[in-house]
Amino acid sequence: MDNTERASRPGVSRRSFLTAVGATAAAGAVVGVAGDALFAGRPASAAGTFVVPGEVAPHKRTWMAWPSSTSIWGSSLLPKIQGDIAKLAKEIAKYEPVVLCADGTTNAANARAAVGSTVQVISSIPVNDCWMRDSGPLFRVNGSGGRDAIGLNFNGWGGKQTASKDRYVAQRAASYAGVSPFTPSYATGEGGGVEYDGDGTLFATETCWVNSNRNPGWTRQEIEDELLYMFGATKMIWCPGYLDPDDITDDHIDATARFVRPGVVMVQVPPAGTTGPWADNARAIHDTLLNATDAKGRRLQVLTLENPDTLPRWPHSRWNTFLNSYVNWVVTNNAVITTQFGDTAKDAAAKAAIGAAFPGKTVVQLNLDQLYGEGGGGAHCVTMQEPLA
């Protein structure tokens, strides 16, 4: 990999250091089983009934999780990751309620000390880690005041990390929220692996879904049918992905491309002339979406912003594992919270582009270097919105 690629790739989507701290296979992992019997009697989609709304729809609250495992993070890194989680939770709480799940009473007390009184901390939903986007529930609405929730059978990104507690977070959070019924998907995957507009359209990379570590024996069409059914959608756009051995997520789409609203997406692209597999993959995702139509027959409007050119707060040797993704933002009721990486010009350009894409919302850029750099995930990865009915 040349230096240009190191400076411009979107980075590893999750923790490459897991192997260094002894990550274990997901205990009791839930995996899909292919077969027409799974879909017997089920309609092609749930459109017109319950739908996962787009993230710009009004929120009731945001769900997060407090990391507390030294076996995952190590004793020296854990407090730094906790610091970024606390910073993000307190920022989101300025715009909407936040529920932070902590693993037991001691960890809940530590979390309360870090986040203060504006964030609700609960200890009744045990967690392994902080990646609520992947382990948490996806809440659905029916347009008539009804709500339910679905889960995507989180299995530790294909057995790469223990998920003995996180595999139950979706159902337990839905129960805590008073939302029923809860419906687990037959397919296995993560919330960060699929983008949805709430208006009938999904897009995702194939690499993290059509993958034997999550859905052995499933065809792409079977996975597509199940996701459309669960999200209440009618159109899937499959994007290419890139498999990197250091990327635990197998290339989640939310580090590269996001829905802004129905019909409009934003893709983070490398600067012109950048070479390498990550740069090529970002351009391929951009081109796929540029040439796609959504469920309503609209040609997608594709907005772009560029990766930072430099990560001045980090040694150059660390750039290749840093998730330098502006688009891994989290949308709240009145703000979009994203990151700044210390590249003054590119940070400002990203803020302006996101602000133009979300008129009327405040754009907040936080320094979350520990989460993005050491954790390889971002603001979107550690949050899950709960919509209003």
User: Known catalytic residues?
Assistant: 381
Residue pair 365/324 in contact (Cβ under 8 Å)? The answer is no
65 contacts: CB under 8 Å, gap ≥ 6: 100, 101, 102, 127, 129, 130, 131, 132, 135, 136, 169, 382
Nearest by Cα to 354 from 373, 375, 340? 340
Rounded Cα gap, residues 66 and 52, in angstroms: 25
State how far the alpha carbon of 25 is from the alpha carbons of 10, 11, 77, 109, 214, in Å. Answer: 26, 23, 21, 29, 12
Task: Return the number of other C-beta atoms located less than 10 Å from residue 80's C-beta.
Answer: 17
Residue pair 122/99 in contact (Cβ under 8 Å)? The answer is yes
Q: Residue holding tokens 């709960």?
A: 386
Please tell me whether the peptide bond between 181 and the residue prior to it is cis, using omega within 30 degrees of 0: yes
Rounded Cα gap, residues 292 and 301, in angstroms: 9
Q: Which residues of 42-56 are buried (b: 16+ CB within 10 A; e: fewer)?
A: eeebbbeebbbbbbb
